[in-house]
Structure 1
């Protein structure tokens, strides 16, 4: 039994040691409809002619699906592999909007598939007439300055994935985690959220969510910051503020709950109340700030 366990540990160590050797540097790529998309996958190891290279596509709200083995010459008119010693490139000809999603390269190592980190492909314009962007931010909790604050950027009514980035007072942050909901008409609602230290949220810095829908560079920027203490310390501030917070909290919890239920995962246990909704359904290049 000990020998079997030792061999298992050795095999696990070997597999874990090669899990990170596939790297996709193109985190996001915008392509116009009918153009050719090129998605790269590189490695520090020899990929041995590409015969063990595979490609998978995960569309929003769906499971990953196999689309191409580089040794397979079928459907070359649509998908083609361009292989070098330490890299493999998937070319998608005459690309269509339905082919938007996250593409993963995979290498067969022994009896395992080792995956890359994924590249998001956005084909055409994801913006529709019903699209809007809204920020959900934590409800003020008096003088609380410990723990973490969760901010969510809701992108409603898009036809395909979008690119979401966060900045704090102009400084770019790591990309947030995205959950998706698909409506009966096929449109998507995306919820991208980040967690920051509570003292960062209450410091008065400006938090901005920027959403790009296409390759034109136009985007929607939605900004907010922690409300000044004076605006929450005086009850005479007016009842409409309380009503506004109550409505915001209800919508925020509803949206996030639906998203988490859809994706069958929970990023942060416990309850979080959200308020201060900010949305924009205007032109891509307009921005709002609370």
Structure 2
């Protein structure tokens, strides 16, 4: 939906062929709940008193909706338009968390609308108990150095938009594209991704995704780099591989002796333990293991049998 709306903004300007251009320099603004917010929109041409200015709000996972027409006087206690020759400012009083989102100014030209590039407003704290951040990187493809590499920063379980920025070895990059998914409980999962040249990704530089949830300045950072290429000589791996093969052979041999000839070890045969179940939890594979419960129960059952024979 983000791409469709962006294409609409671009096509509207191309179809009109007019010189007027709207831009919003304040890309993001943090505001505490119940405070006031001001979002500015500038123009290359005279806005004629702002009578043709409208403001749209796009919340995560929703379509843009018109929240204010500066020509009318409706809901002035909540939204107010302040105009100058080449700018218009939307003032929002007593902002609430539900008013977080991207605000677009628009200019009505004949039957078309010219949009600004948008300003993100984050109200309060977006962090929740279920929030986490994960960095996804492309799988290494040998010596491939052409094309592009896509990196994604996944922000799970937030209550409203967050600010995501990327840096490569300390140098800030352009903001990535964000896609959002809305869960049944209203929480959001945001996926912000960037594309970099493959030679940049394989250069060994540090790629960092920084996520800000509120105005306190605290943030979560996740960093990664392209894994170093393996050594060309195989001699370094001979000893570990030999040791691993020997250990595997020993385990297999003991297992065969245990199964086929239990009397030689002075032990009674027993059923093998069920395989550990594997489950996917948030993309991380883990296993439920129970090492002692079966042995403990087995000893208890044998002890109970011996006690019955003594009593008999």
TM-score, normalised relative to structure 2: 0.70
Distance 2:141 2:34 in 1: 51
SS state of the match for residue 199, structure 1?
A: helix
Distance 2:58 2:75 in 1: 19
Alignment CA distance shift 1:46-1:158 (3 Å): same
Q: How far is the alpha carbon of 1:72 from its aligned partner? A: 1.2
| Greater fraction of residues in strand | 1
Runs of 4 or more, structure 1, over 2 Å off, are 11-14, 16-19, 230-239
Q: Does 1:208 align with 2:208?
A: yes
Distance 2:148 2:119 in 1: 29
Q: Does 1:16 align with 2:11?
A: no
Distance 2:17 2:202 in 1: 40
What are structure 2's unaligned runs of at least 5 residues?
A: 1-11, 245-278, 285-312
Alignment CA distance shift 1:102-1:233 (3 Å): farther
Alignment CA distance shift 1:232-1:174 (3 Å): farther
SS state of the match for residue 126, structure 1?
A: coil
Q: How far is the alpha carbon of 1:84 from its aligned partner? A: 1.1
Q: Does 1:120 align with 2:120?
A: yes
Alignment CA distance shift 1:138-1:13 (3 Å): closer
Tell me which residue corresponds to 1:90.
Answer: 90
Tell me which residue corresponds to 2:33.
Answer: 33
- Using CA pairs under 8 Å that are at least 6 residues apart, name the structure with larger relative contact order, 1 or 2: 1
Distance 2:43 2:32 in 1: 28
Q: How far is the alpha carbon of 1:50 from its aligned partner? A: 1.1
Number of aligned residue pairs: 233
Contact kept? 1:100, 1:121, Cα under 8 Å: yes
Q: How far is the alpha carbon of 1:13 from its aligned partner? A: 6.3
Q: How far is the alpha carbon of 1:16 from its aligned partner? A: 3.0
CA-based RMSD:
2.6
Distance 1:32 1:233 in 2: 58
Contact kept? 1:18, 1:114, Cα under 8 Å: no
1:114-263 correspondence to structure 2 within 5 Å = 114-230=114-230, 251=283
Tell me which residue corresponds to 1:62.
Answer: 62
